[in-house]
């Protein structure tokens, strides 16, 4: 079963994909749209193309667990996404996923424009891998 992981952002949205067994997440692409409707259409297209059976959407939360402005925007995006595709959309706490992505890029010496273009995809990979790991516990 393939699962798509999504790190929705204002300017860029990272997308990751699981292997067929649902064991590992790999970065797939970064979507460079600011319009949530366009992003939802592209995520739905990718889900269909890769025959994903569900989408794991990173939900930004504040460190105290509350949902702030970005979390509310993500929930609105999820509603748009649900109008584009008929598979489950699951929220996953994404706190510190971008921090982990930056740490990984630091350790692998990725800098400059390339870093900016892939950090969201790496974050989506962390989000999806966290979800996949929770299924095996």
Please state the rounded mean pLDDT for residues 71-99: 89
Select the more confidently predicted residue: 119 or 81.
Answer: 81
User: Which band of pLDDT confidence, cut at 50, 70 and 90, is reported for residue 98?
Assistant: low
pLDDT at 95 > cutoff 90 = no
pLDDT at 21 > cutoff 60 = yes
pLDDT one-digit tens code per residue, 106-115: 565 555 656 5
pLDDT at 102 > cutoff 60 = no
Nearest to 17 by CA among 36, 7, 4: 4
Total domain count, the chain: 1
pLDDT at 119 > cutoff 70 = yes
Q: Supply the DSSP symbol for 51.
A: T
By residue range, what is the domain housing residue 82? Answer: 2-135
Nearest to 13 by CA among 88, 105, 112, 98: 98
Instruction: Compute the mean pLDDT over every residue in the chain, rounded to the nearest whole number.
Output: 87
The whole-angstrom separation of Cα 87 and Cα 127 is: 18
pLDDT one-digit tens code per residue, 35-80: 999 999 999 999 999 999 999 999 988 778 778 888 899 999 999 9
Q: Residue 61 maps to which CATH number?
A: 3.30.420.140
pLDDT one-digit tens code per residue, 120-134: 888 899 899 999 988
Give the pair of three-digit tokens for residue 64.
Answer: 């105290």
Nearest to 94 by CA among 117, 73, 116, 115: 73
Sign of CA dihedral 46, 49, 55, 56: negative
């Amino acid at each position: 079963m393939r699962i798509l992981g999504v790190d929705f952002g204002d300017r860029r949205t990272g997308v990751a994909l699981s292997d067929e067994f649902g064991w590992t997440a790999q970065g797939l692409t970064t979507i460079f749209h600011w319009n949530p409707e366009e992003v939802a259409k592209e995520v739905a297209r990718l889900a269909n193309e890769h025959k994903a059976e569900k989408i794991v959407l990173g939900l930004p939360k504040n460190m105290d667990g509350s949902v702030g402005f970005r979390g509310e925007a993500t929930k609105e995006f999820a509603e748009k996404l649900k109008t584009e595709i008929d598979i489950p959309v699951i929220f996953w706490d994404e706190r510190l996923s971008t921090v982990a992505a930056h740490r990984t890029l630091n350790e692998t010496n990725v800098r400059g424009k390339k870093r900016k273009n892939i950090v969201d995809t790496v974050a989506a990979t962390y989000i999806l891998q966290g979800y996949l790991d929770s299924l095996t516990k």
